[in-house]
């Protein structure tokens, strides 16, 4: 049975309040989830008053402003800041997304920022994604061909076959979708989750791949695949506008018709 | 290695979408319908135990609570049927588009109430 409430050591406490020191008139309260492994205390939510007149347009800009000007201990992942690397995936105002491409003006009132849901927290806004990476490895995300070493011929792909990968190859594995899925919350160890299944479909659907049947067989499992109940939180949260629910649906359909 | 790090909040903070809301409703309603079907079967079986037994069932169903129950069950079955059609269409590979899924969700919800009213009127010999 899934545990719907948070375990005792994960209960969130009220944290510190950082009052504005700039005397700005355009203030916004930013609530940020904090947890420091060195203290041994429960996680807390700190509130920062941020001067929005001197802040960039994205949520990541706010986080940087807090880190640079208010509390340098705030920890989060980021790399490209252009929505390509997927490092800054987090829960912004109740929906997963990338902090670097999410405008803070899209949301009203206080801004709540949490790490991706239902992960073991490493520190502050950083969640541990190692289970997801292991599952990604399990679907063997590389081209498998029957060719031996000697006859290395070019694998050609028609434009039409290439188009079949549109909407799937763009996935940046930010884990926004997988960590938004209630099924993945309750069965994260066994159910592969939308991100990995979308990737699985990307390889199944590749005309150059010679292992389609084996791939389908591997994924056809009560727990690995059929824990998807089309809740569609994944598609709702994907920052790249992809449709993992459709990919999973396509795999199910392939299995039903093959 | 035991990982004693805290678990990040999930249900507590995640925003509801129409699709997720209907999904959980579908499941809850499914469980309710399972028990409802047992009651309906029992009602039918009660015929075998004679008229008195059957009548006592009818008295319970004719109370305010009984009527409320029956109308509620009309809704749960309507909802289940319509949402199941939605799932069937998904299984056939259509309607995954975010906009379409939202619209079909709203249609399901509104349709379930319309169907409930229809069931009620048909049951009352309105037509």
Residue A182 CB: number of other CB atoms within 10 A?
Answer: 21
Distance from CA of A155 to the nearest CA of B (A): 29
Is there a domain that residue B105 lies in?
yes
Distance from CA of B73 to the nearest CA of A (A): 23
pLDDT per position as a tens digit, A71-107: 999 999 999 999 999 999 999 999 999 999 999 999 9
Total domain count, chain B: 1
Q: Which residue of A has its CA nearest to B9?
A: A117
Whether the model pTM is above 0.95: no
Structure tokens at A183: 């099924």
- Partner residue facing B19 (CB), from A115, A231, A253: A231
Total domain count, chain A: 2
Per-residue pLDDT at A153? 83
Tell me, yes or no, if B14 comes closer than 8 A to chain A by beta carbon. Answer: yes
Distance from CA of A89 to the nearest CA of B (A): 14
Per-residue pLDDT at A215? 95
Q: Do A36 and A135 sit in the same domain of this protein?
A: no
State how beta strands A27-34 and A44-51 pair.
Answer: antiparallel
Q: Do A18 and A64 sit in the same domain of this protein?
A: yes
pLDDT at B127 over 80: no
| CA–CA distance, A209 with A211 (Å, rounded to integer) | 6
Going by pLDDT thresholds of 50, 70 and 90, the confidence category of residue A1 is: low
Per-residue pLDDT at A146? 79
Q: Which residue, B103, B87, B23, B98, is CA-closest to A182?
A: B23
Which DSSP string corresponds to B16-46? P-HHHHHHHHHHHHHHHHHHHHHHHHHHHHG
pLDDT at A151 over 90: no
Element (H, E) at A32: strand A27-34
- Partner residue facing A43 (CB), from B6, B13, B23: B6
Which residues in chain B are closer than 8 Å to A245, comparing Cβ atoms? 96, 101
Q: Do A55 and A113 sit in the same domain of this protein?
A: yes
Q: Do A62 and A110 sit in the same domain of this protein?
A: yes
Is there a domain that residue B3 lies in?
no
**Residue/partner pairs of A133-137 with CB below 8 Å, 24 or more apart:** A135/A192, A135/A193, A135/A196, A136/A173, A136/A195, A136/A196, A136/A199
Q: Do A135 and A118 sit in the same domain of this protein?
A: no
Structure tokens at B74: 């009309």
- Partner residue facing B98 (CB), from A42, A229, A236: A236
Q: Most B CBs within 10 Å: which of A40, A236, A237, as the mutation test of the B interface?
A: A236
pLDDT per position as a tens digit, B39-86: 999 888 888 888 888 888 889 889 999 999 999 999 999 999 999 999
Per-residue pLDDT at B56? 86
pLDDT per position as a tens digit, A23-80: 999 999 999 999 999 998 999 999 999 999 999 999 999 999 999 999 999 999 999 9
pLDDT at B1 over 80: no
Q: Do A16 and A76 sit in the same domain of this protein?
A: yes
pLDDT per position as a tens digit, A163-203: 999 999 999 999 999 999 999 999 999 999 999 999 999 99
Burial of residue A11 (CB within 10 Å: 0-12, 13-18, 19+) is: middle
What Rg, from alpha-carbon coordinates, does chain A have? 21
| CA–CA distance, A234 with A119 (Å, rounded to integer) | 16
Structure tokens at A141: 């995300």
Helix pair angle (B98-123, B18-45), 10° resolution: 30
- Partner residue facing B14 (CB), from A7, A127, A180: A180
Is there a domain that residue A2 lies in?
no
Structural contact between residues A103 and A110, judged by C-beta atoms closer than 8 angstroms: no
Per-residue pLDDT at B58? 85
**Mean pLDDT for chain B overall:** 93
Is there a domain that residue B42 lies in?
yes
- The boundaries of the domain holding residue B56 are 20-123
Per-residue pLDDT at A155? 87
Structural contact between residues A32 and A74, judged by C-beta atoms closer than 8 angstroms: yes
Q: Do A235 and A183 sit in the same domain of this protein?
A: yes
Distance from CA of A209 to the nearest CA of B (A): 23
Which residues in chain B are closer than 8 Å to A7, comparing Cβ atoms? 6-7
Q: Do A141 and A249 sit in the same domain of this protein?
A: yes
Is there a domain that residue B81 lies in?
yes
Is there a domain that residue A101 lies in?
yes
Per-residue pLDDT at B74? 95
| CA–CA distance, A207 with A254 (Å, rounded to integer) | 15
Burial of residue B71 (CB within 10 Å: 0-12, 13-18, 19+) is: middle
Contact A37 B98 (CB under 8 A): no
Tell me, yes or no, if B7 comes closer than 8 A to chain A by beta carbon. Answer: yes
Is there a domain that residue B60 lies in?
yes
Rounded average pLDDT over A141-147: 88
pLDDT per position as a tens digit, A196-244: 999 999 999 999 999 999 999 999 999 999 999 999 999 999 999 999 9
Structure tokens at A19: 């009052």
Per-residue pLDDT at B2? 62
Query: Which CATH number belongs to the domain containing residue A190 in this structure?
Result: 1.10.1060.10
Q: Most A CBs within 10 Å: which of B1, B4, B6, B27, as the mutation test of the A interface?
A: B6
Is there a domain that residue A109 lies in?
yes
Query: Which CATH number belongs to the domain containing residue B42 in this structure?
Result: 1.20.1300.10
Is there a domain that residue B57 lies in?
yes
Structural contact between residues B98 and A236, judged by C-beta atoms closer than 8 angstroms: yes
Element (H, E) at A61: helix A59-65
- Partner residue facing B6 (CB), from A10, A116, A249: A10
Is there a domain that residue A100 lies in?
yes
Q: Do A180 and A214 sit in the same domain of this protein?
A: yes
Residue A187 CB: number of other CB atoms within 10 A?
Answer: 16
Structure tokens at A7: 């375990």
Contact A233 B19 (CB under 8 A): yes
Q: Do A100 and A136 sit in the same domain of this protein?
A: no
Q: Which residue, A170, A196, A234, A248, is CA-closest to B90?
A: A248
Tell me, yes or no, if B1 comes closer than 8 A to chain A by beta carbon. Answer: no
Angle in degrees, CA A76, A77, A79, rounded to 5: 140
- The boundaries of the domain holding residue A46 are 8-127
Q: Do A95 and A136 sit in the same domain of this protein?
A: no
State how beta strands A44-51 and A13-18 pair.
Answer: parallel
Is there a domain that residue B6 lies in?
no
pLDDT at A251 over 70: yes
Element (H, E) at A219: helix A212-219
Structural contact between residues A38 and A124, judged by C-beta atoms closer than 8 angstroms: no
Per-residue pLDDT at B100? 96
- Partner residue facing B96 (CB), from A43, A114, A243: A243
Q: Do A90 and A111 sit in the same domain of this protein?
A: yes
Which residues in chain B are closer than 8 Å to A182, comparing Cβ atoms? 10-11, 20, 24
Query: Which CATH number belongs to the domain containing residue A82 in this structure?
Result: 3.10.20.30
Tell me, yes or no, if B87 comes closer than 8 A to chain A by beta carbon. Answer: yes
Is there a domain that residue B8 lies in?
no
Contact A10 B20 (CB under 8 A): no
Contact A235 B7 (CB under 8 A): no
Is there a domain that residue A96 lies in?
yes
């Amino acid at each position: 049975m899934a545990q719907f409430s948070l375990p005792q050591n994960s209960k969130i406490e009220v944290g510190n309040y950082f009052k504005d020191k700039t005397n700005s008139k355009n203030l916004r309260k930013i609530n940020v989830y904090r947890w420091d492994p060195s203290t041994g205390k429960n996680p807390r939510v700190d509130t920062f008053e941020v001067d929005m007149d001197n802040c960039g347009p994205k949520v990541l800009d706010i986080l940087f402003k807090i880190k640079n000007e208010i509390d340098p201990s705030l920890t989060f992942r980021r790399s490209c800041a252009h929505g390509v690397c997927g490092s800054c995936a987090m829960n912004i105002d109740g929906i997963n997304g990338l902090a670097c491409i999410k405008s803070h003006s899209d949301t009203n009132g206080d801004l709540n920022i949490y790490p991706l849901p239902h992960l073991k927290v490493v520190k502050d806004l950083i969640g541990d994604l190692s289970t997801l990476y292991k599952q990604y490895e399990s679907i063997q995300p590389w081209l498998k061909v029957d060719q031996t070493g000697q006859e290395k011929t070019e694998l050609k792909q028609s434009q039409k076959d290439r188009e079949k990968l549109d909407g799937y190859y763009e996935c940046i594995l930010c884990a926004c979708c997988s960590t938004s899925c209630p099924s993945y919350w309750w069965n994260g160890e066994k159910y592969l989750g939308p991100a990995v299944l979308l990737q699985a479909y990307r390889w199944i659907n590749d005309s150059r791949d010679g292992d389609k049947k084996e791939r389908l067989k591997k994924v056809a499992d009560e727990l690995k695949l059929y824990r998807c109940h089309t809740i569609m939180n994944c598609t709702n949260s994907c920052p790249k506008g992809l449709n993992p629910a459709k990919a999973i649906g396509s795999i199910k359909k392939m299995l039903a018709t093959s | 290695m035991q990982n004693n790090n805290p678990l990040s909040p999930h249900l507590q903070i995640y925003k509801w979408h129409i699709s997720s809301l209907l999904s959980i409703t579908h499941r809850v309603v499914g469980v309710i319908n399972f028990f409802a079907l047992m009651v309906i079967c029992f009602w039918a079986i009660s015929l075998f135990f004679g008229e008195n037994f059957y009548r006592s069932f009818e008295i319970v169903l004719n109370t305010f609570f009984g009527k409320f129950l029956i109308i509620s069950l009309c809704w749960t079955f309507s909802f289940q049927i319509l949402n199941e059609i939605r799932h069937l269409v998904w299984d056939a590979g259509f309607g995954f588009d975010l906009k379409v899924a939202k619209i079909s969700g709203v249609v399901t919800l509104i349709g379930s109430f319309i169907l409930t009213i229809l069931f009620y009127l048909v049951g009352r010999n309105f037509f």
